[in-house]
Amino acid sequence: MTQFRKSISGLLLALVAGAALADATLLNVSYDVARDVYKDYNPLFQKYWKAKSGESLELKQSHGGSTKQVRAVADGLEADVVTMNQANDIEFLADKGLVAKDWAHKFPNNASPYTSTMVFIVRKGNPKAIKDWADIAAPGVQMIIPHPKNTGNGRNTYLSAWAWALKQPGGNDKSAQEFLGKLLKNAPLFAAGGRDATTTFMQRQMGDVLITFESEAEMIAKEFGKGNFEVVYPSLTMQTEFPVALVEKVVDKKGTRKQAQAYLDYLWSKEGQENAAQNYLRPRDPEILKKYAQSFPPVKTFTVDAVFGSATKAFAVHFKDGGTFDQLYQSK
C-alpha cells in the first residue's frame, strides 16, 4: 500500500514538475492510426522549437475515431490543433465556429501535409488476377472493406470505385451506381473498422481482396510478413488527404497560438515530411517523395474535390440517409 502511495505521489510530483518545466502545453487531437506519426513527430518539433525560441513545450496526444474526436473537441475538449483524416470532420468544427471558415487555405496543399491512396491487398500470387476495380466486381470475387457509412476507409473505397466508373467510356452517374451495386454485392460483410477489416482478411483468411490505405499495407507487412500478400495499384484511386487545423478559440484562450501555428507549419518542413514518409504516408515535398520513391510507386489519383466538388458534398450525396449507398441497399 505504501509502495502504491509512493508511486502515486511520485507520479503526481512528476506531472506537476513536468507542467512547471514546460513553458506551454499543446494538445493534438487526432485520429486513431496517427498515433505513431505524431509520436515520432513530437520530439522532432520539441527539439526544433527549443532551438528556435528557447521554450520547452509539452505535447499531448489524444487519438480515437475521427468523428468521435471532433465531437469531443466541439463539446469542450481543449485541443490546440486537430489533425484528422477527413475534411468533413474539420468542416464540422468550422460550422461550430471553433476553426476558421477558410481553414483549408491556412496551410499549403489544402491544409493536408501528407497523403495516402487506396490500394488493393490480394493474396500471394494474386490467384483471382485482380488488377483493377472491374475485376473486383466480377462474379465469385469477395471483397473485404469496412462499413462505407461508418468509416472513412469504407467511404474512400466507395468513392474511388465511383470515380473510376465515371471515367470509363460512356460513364455517368447511372452507370457508376450500377457498378457500385455489383461491387458491393461482392462484400460478404462490412467490417467494423479499418483494422477489423485487416484482421478479417489476414487472420481469418476471408475474401480475395482487401481495400485499404497504402500506409496500412506497410503495417500489414510488419505484422504478417511481406510474403503473404501483394499490393495492387488500380488504374485510378483516391488521393486521401489528412487535413490539419488550428482550433482558434482554444489557442486564443490559452495563449498558445504562436506555438500551435509553428507545430502545424513544421509538418511541411524537411524533417516533418521525412517523418511522414517514414510512416508510409506520401510526403508533399517532391524531393523527399523522390528519396522514398521505392515505398511510393507512381499511381494515378484523383482528389475528392476534383470529382465530387468537396468531401462534404460527396458525403451528402452518397452517405447521408437516403443517399446513393442506401438506395443500393434498399432497392434489393
Partner 1 sequence: MATTTHRVLPGFGLALGYTLVYLSLLILLPLGGMVLKASELGVGQVIDIALGERSLAAFRVTFGASLAAAAINAFFGLIVAWILVRYSFPGKRFVDALVDLPFALPTAVAGITLATLYAGNGWLGRYLEPLGVKVAYTPLGIVFALTFITLPFVVRTLQPVIEDIETEVEEAAASLGASRWQTFTRVIFPAIFPALLTGFALAFARAIGEYGSVIFIAGNLPMISEITPLLIISKLEQYDVLGATALAVVMLVLSFLLLLGVNVLQWWTANRHKHGEPLEATAAKAAGGAQ
Min dist CB 329 to partner 1, Å, is 4
Min dist CB 141 to partner 1, Å, is 16
Side-chain-facing half-sphere of 283: CA atoms under 13 Å:
25
Nearer to partner 1, 65 or 171 (CB): 65
Q: What are phi and psi of 265, to 5 degrees?
A: -55, -40
Is position 329 an interface residue for partner 1 (rule: CB under 8 A)?
yes
Tell me how far apart the alpha carbons of residues 150 and 70 are, in angstroms, rounded to a whole number: 15
Burial class (CB in 10 A: 0-12, 13-18, 19+), 211: buried
Considering only 38, 92, 242, 308, the residue that binds partner 1 (CB under 8 A) is 92
Helix axes 214-224, 194-202, angle to 10 degrees: 50
Greatest C-alpha distance within the chain? 76
Nearer to partner 1, 196 or 305 (CB): 196
The β-bridge partners of 114 are 283
Considering only 28, 200, 212, 259, the residue that binds partner 1 (CB under 8 A) is 200
The β-bridge partners of 27 are 60
- Which of these segments, 2-10, 39-47, 127-135, 188-196, binds partner 1 (CB under 8 A)? 188-196
CA distances from 213 to 2, 120, 166, 179, 293 (A): 49, 9, 22, 22, 17
Min dist CB 151 to partner 1, Å, is 8
Closest by CA to 201, choosing from 97, 117, 123, 309, is 123
Nearer to partner 1, 114 or 158 (CB): 158
Is position 282 an interface residue for partner 1 (rule: CB under 8 A)?
no
Is position 196 an interface residue for partner 1 (rule: CB under 8 A)?
yes
Min dist CB 40 to partner 1, Å, is 28
Nearer to partner 1, 92 or 114 (CB): 92
User: With helix as H, strand as E and coil as C, how does 144-211 read?
Assistant: EEECCCCCHHHHHHHHHHHHHHHHCCCCCHHHHHHHHHHHHHCCCCEECCHHHHHHHHHCCCCCCEEE
Is position 204 an interface residue for partner 1 (rule: CB under 8 A)?
yes
- Which of these segments, 41-49, 56-64, 220-228, 313-321, binds partner 1 (CB under 8 A)? 313-321
C-alpha cell at 231: 499490393
Is position 189 an interface residue for partner 1 (rule: CB under 8 A)?
yes
Min dist CB 204 to partner 1, Å, is 4
Is position 191 an interface residue for partner 1 (rule: CB under 8 A)?
yes
Of residues 55 through 74, those in contact with partner 1 by CB under 8 A are 67, 71
Is position 205 an interface residue for partner 1 (rule: CB under 8 A)?
yes
Tell me how far apart the alpha carbons of residues 214 and 82 are, in angstroms, rounded to a whole number: 22
> For residues 228-264, b (16+ Cβ closer than 10 Å) or e, as one string?
ebebbbbebbbbbbbbbbbbbbbbeebebeebbbbbb
Per-residue mark of binding to partner 1, 135-164 (x: CB under 8 A): ------------x-xx--------------
Q: How many residues bind partner 1 (CB under 8 A)?
A: 27
Min dist CB 186 to partner 1, Å, is 12
Is position 77 an interface residue for partner 1 (rule: CB under 8 A)?
no
- Give the binding site for partner 1 (CB under 8 A): 67, 71, 92, 147, 149-150, 187-192, 196, 199-200, 203-206, 315, 319-321, 326, 329-330, 332
